[in-house]
Amino acid sequence: MIDLKKLYYYPSAPKGGYTNPYSENYKLGMADYYHVLDDKNKPSGMKSLWFLWYSFKADVFIVNWLDSVCFLRFSFLQFLFAELALFVIVIRGKRIVWMLHNIHPHEGDNWMSKKINASLLKQSKAIIVHSHLAEEYARSLHAESVYYRCHPIDMSRVTERIAKTHYPNYDIFIWGTIFPYKGVREFLSSEVVKSSDFSVLVIGICHDRTLADQIAELCNDRVHYENRKIEFSELAQRISCCKYVLFPYIGDCVSSSGALIDTICMNGNAVGPNVGAFRDLSDFGVCHTYNDYNELALLLKDYSEIDFEKRDAFICTNGWKQFCNFVHQIVEK
């Protein structure tokens, strides 16, 4: 029996479990090449403490969103544990793959998050990004081993084109967990909505009560908001009943979007800002983009669908199997 190298994927599953399938799919895919530690996804406590624990055990480390620990409870202690873990990994001569998802954390930046990212920049064998924007950012920091690969596709979520269901039809559908950077409040309060007759449906849980109330106040007979998580069985049907699935993201931290990939898998006619993965996938022909609200208004009025042949070709070449094989090859160079 082959003695496989040990791999640790950070972060371990939080107390409520992973909120999206990205981490679970990554672990499952890498199990073809390594002995994946913490593969049962048991709920864990302090993220950075678990990272420190496994820093003594694994040979390969896949690191995601490590800088975000600087905005959690006991942030300074979490920062110290994270830095110590990185030090241990380097002293042991093990390999780090840094998954650079965002230009900076959605919470913002502070000296601790900058220090962690500086350590990752220096110590990682490879940096993998899901957008050319993140690739450009990493190279601007003089990173050497930077690799672009599109956000991988969960093939179990790929659906055939389905007929419209009993759900009401909407012009614009917005879905996913709602955070300030997703720009939902800004879009609903814009002239794009106010000066048009577009019908808009928003479904997504919002833990920020103030933001949720602000969005609710913008609702009327054309604009509806449901503060809840949407299940994927319903999501595919909702997507079939709308003209566009909109991602009105704002700010400069967004690089890639798993929700965008899921929307494409479900035959959604996706629209997003002309940045990051939205721009990349527009080049593939599977997403529409806009530079400002004026362009967005024109795009929404002049309906056009994505090219479904390009969509099918895109899906066939960007599955988790291909992605994890790509990561394995980079690690073992």
3-class DSSP state for residue 242? Answer: strand
pLDDT digits (tens, 9 = 90+) for 37-46: 999 998 888 9
In whole angstroms, give the CA distance from residue 331 to residue 147: 12
Q: Which residues contact 12 (CB under 8 A, 6 or more apart)?
A: 38, 41, 42, 44, 47, 50, 51
pLDDT digits (tens, 9 = 90+) for 278-294: 999 999 999 999 999 99
Q: Report whether 279 contacts 289 (CB < 8 A).
A: yes
For residues 87-100, give the mean pLDDT. Answer: 98
pLDDT of residue 163: 62
pLDDT of residue 165: 67
pLDDT at 164 over 70: no
In whole angstroms, give the CA distance from residue 69 to residue 88: 18
Q: Which residues contact 296 (CB under 8 A, 6 or more apart)?
A: 192, 248, 271, 290
b/e per residue, 53-89, with b = 16+ CB within 10 A?
bbbeebbbbbbbbbbbbbbeeebeebbebbbebbeeb
In whole angstroms, give the CA distance from residue 325 to residue 32: 9
Phi, psi of 322 (to 5 degrees): -65, -40
Rounded CA Rg of the chain: 21
Residue ranges of the alpha helices (H) in the chain?
A: 22-30, 47-55, 75-91, 111-123, 132-140, 184-188, 191-194, 209-217, 232-240, 258-265, 276-284, 293-301, 308-316, 320-331
For residues 52-73, give the mean pLDDT. Answer: 96
For residues 61-70, give the mean pLDDT. Answer: 96
Reported as a pLDDT band with limits 50, 70 and 90, residue 253 is low
pLDDT digits (tens, 9 = 90+) for 186-234: 999 999 999 999 999 999 999 999 999 999 999 999 999 999 999 988 9
Residue 219 CB neighbours (<10 A): 14
pLDDT of residue 308: 84
Residue 10 CB neighbours (<10 A): 24
pLDDT at 108 over 80: no
Q: Report whether 310 contacts 280 (CB < 8 A).
A: no
| Integer angstrom CA distances of residue 234 from 157, 165, 237 | 12, 10, 5
- Dump the DSSP string for 4-65: PPEEEEESPP-TT--SSTHHHHHHHHHTTTSEETTTT----S-HHHHHHHHHTT-SEEEEES
For residues 290-317, give the mean pLDDT. Answer: 92
Average per-residue pLDDT for the chain: 93
Q: Report which of residues 156 and 1 the model is more confident about.
A: 156
For residues 65-92, give the mean pLDDT. Answer: 96
pLDDT at 125 over 80: yes
pLDDT at 1 over 90: no
pLDDT of residue 177: 93
In whole angstroms, give the CA distance from residue 151 to residue 101: 10
Model pTM score: 0.89
pLDDT at 161 over 70: no
Closest CA to 85 of 114, 119, 133, 125: 119
